[in-house]
Amino acid sequence: MAAKEKREFRLLATCEDAVGIVAAVTGCLAEHGGSIVEANQFSDPDTNTFFMRYVIDAESLPFDGAGLEKALQPVTDRFTMNCRIADTAQPHRVLILVSKTSHCLNDLLYRWRTKDMDFEVIGVVSNHDDHRDEVERRGIPYHHIPMPKDPQAKEEGFVETARLIDELNPQTIVLARFMQILPGWMCSRYPGRIINIHHSFLPAFAGARPYHQASERGVKLTGATCHYVTSDLDAGPIIEQDVVRISHHDSLQDIVRLGKDVEKTVLSRGLRYHLEDRVLVHGNKTVVFR
């Protein structure tokens, strides 16, 4: 989907389920002339939690996002609601981290260049210098931060990466096959802002060399998982997954080739849901309003 011309506010909210939530929110919006152009809601019976995503025509309201938040305050207080409002007038700033394998990076850059997805690439960070020419010819800053095997030197690389992230202040950090395990302090520093693509159908084959694990196990399906990064390796809340069928005829090289196609598709779908504010995290699960 290309970038929207019409400005919208996206209202995301979670709270304990109760009678009257929808009526209270829609009533408040109607009171101020707010036009709802998309509405999604879900009640989880296991946790008695209510999830809501409303898209509102910004031009229909007499105030900005801060004004909308203030207008909704009585409702959010009444239901002890966690509420967030996103404004589509502001381009979503994305920083991409990548190692040597470039298929996911190339796919994201293509979607950015063709405006298939609405985001701004503010830079690419890599522990290798392989992609510099490819990235810089598109006018995107390229940052080479080596990650040596020596633990202390690698930690210094992560510190430098975090310093760069703080300087650039991206809303989202995408690990597009960035083959380094982020330290726990770094995961905690950017909660809900780091998205990773893992080349297996998690929770199967977490960690290193998942295609080798799949080949050795003789599985008939392999896949990819787009998830938020936490301090638990490959165990963050899952946004999107998909699989591809394999057989005894497929070599390890075949599995890798088939998997790459799934990886870039799953990453782009998961990132799109995130950029469009369709993902609500609840514990280690997600509600995704497609």
Write out the catalytic residue numbers: 234
Which residue type does 262 have? Answer: V
Q: 8: which strand partners?
A: 57
231 exposure class (CB count in 10 Å sphere: 0-12, 13-18, 19+): middle
**Cα 71 to Cα 87: distance, rounded to the nearest angstrom:** 16
Q: Which two tokens stand for residue 55?
A: 């898209």
Residue 189 phi, psi dihedral angles, 5° rounding: -70, -30
Residue 83 Cα distances to 12, 52, 68, 217, 279, angstroms: 6, 9, 11, 45, 13
**Cα 261 to Cα 265: distance, rounded to the nearest angstrom:** 6
Which residue type does 9 have? Answer: F
CB atoms within 10 A of CB 81: 20
